[in-house]
Amino acid sequence: MKNFIEFLKKIFKFQPKSYELVEGLKANNSLSNDQTNMLGNLLKLGNIQVVDIMVPRADIVALSASSNLNSTLSLFLKASHSRIPVYSEQLDNIVGMIHVKDLLNFWKKNEAFSINKIKRNVLFASPSMLVNDLLGQMRATRTHLAIIVDEHGGTDGLVTIEDLVEEIVGEIEDEHDSKKGPMVTSLDNGAFLVNARALTSDLERALGLNFSHIDAHKEVDTVGGLIFTISGKIPNVNEVISHPKLGLNFKILEADNRRINKVLVSRSENIIEK
């Protein structure tokens, strides 16, 4: 998987014969079907405009910069988003975004709440911008949300980094999508059965731990994302990923070529077999 990611980086700036290259690799069995599909989707990004994938204005969930802590928390819970754009007076004047992690950290500091103290920058793009160009900008600036503006500067739509990645790898099931059963289940042997889409904060609460000192935790929201960042790959089923600083083992119970689905989490001193 790591080599494949490096290959994606190399061909990110498309060459005239990129399609022929992909077909040749497929013919030589150098790529799996999933990898071939991903590369094909990646090449198509050069022809797709942002307007084709954006969340339209009518569906945008946003916060007023003057919102208090209670209303902000309520909106995050209702919307089930990890990032929400912030506007001043009207939706056409987006001034940034806030991440639920920053909100919770700010809350712990016991200071007077102010969205302006925790808001992050967003990118602004035109509807006609190509998806691959926007993806490049978002990667370069490490910005995960872009506001799409019309010729008058009004808010036309919104695009997240997940929207762009889905154009490459296919639809990603969000951690808040409809799901059956609990995301984190405590087992009698002290381990936890965890849906990889569970928020890291849910696992922290279940374990009574704080992951904030772990670098791999800072830019991810889900347990699957944490494991991917720690290991640098999509692990195989039954593979155990250990993290000494956390004192935890993550045994992969279910996974495919694109994502981790289910994990058994146990303390390092007691590797649970299942």
Q: What is the pLDDT of residues 192-208, one digit of tens each?
A: 999 987 888 888 889 88
- Confidence category of residue 2, pLDDT binned at 50, 70, 90: very low
* Pairing of β 63-64 and β 83-87: parallel
Fold of 52-169: CBS-domain (3.10.580)
Rounded Cα distance, 179 and 202, in Å = 15
Calculate the average pLDDT of the chain.
Answer: 77
In terms of Cβ atoms closer than 10 Å to its own Cβ (0-12, 13-18, 19+), residue 62 is buried
Residue 270 has pLDDT above 60, yes or no: no
The pLDDT value given to residue 17: 46
Between strands 145-149 and 155-160, the pairing is antiparallel
Which amino acid, 206? A
Q: Is the pLDDT of residue 178 over 60?
A: no
| Rounded Cα distance, 29 and 125, in Å | 39
Fold observed for domain 181-267: 3.30.465
Q: What value does the mean pLDDT take over residues 135-156?
A: 89
CATH 3.10.580.10 range(s) for the chain read 52-169
Alpha helices in the chain (DSSP H): 2-10, 18-27, 33-44, 69-79, 100-108, 115-118, 131-141, 161-169, 200-207, 223-231
Rounded Cα gap, residues 20 and 100, in angstroms: 44
> What is the predicted pLDDT for the residue at 84?
94
Better-predicted residue by pLDDT, 183 or 170: 183
165 contacts: CB under 8 Å, gap ≥ 6: 172
- Check residue 15 and give its pLDDT: 45
**pLDDT tens for each residue of 79-101:** 888 899 999 999 999 999 999 88
Compute the distance between CA of residue 119 and CA of residue 125 in angstroms, rounded to an integer: 19
Please write the tens of the pLDDT for every residue from 217-251.
555 677 887 887 788 777 889 999 998 888 899 99
The residues of the chain that CATH labels 3.30.465.10 are: 181-267
**pLDDT band with cut points at 50, 70 and 90 for residue 11:** very low
Residues 21-71: pLDDT tens digits?
555 555 555 556 655 555 655 556 667 888 888 888 988 999 999 998 889
Share of the chain above pLDDT 70, in %: 68
Q: How far is CA 154 from CA 96, 97, 143, 160, 260, in A?
A: 15, 17, 20, 18, 39
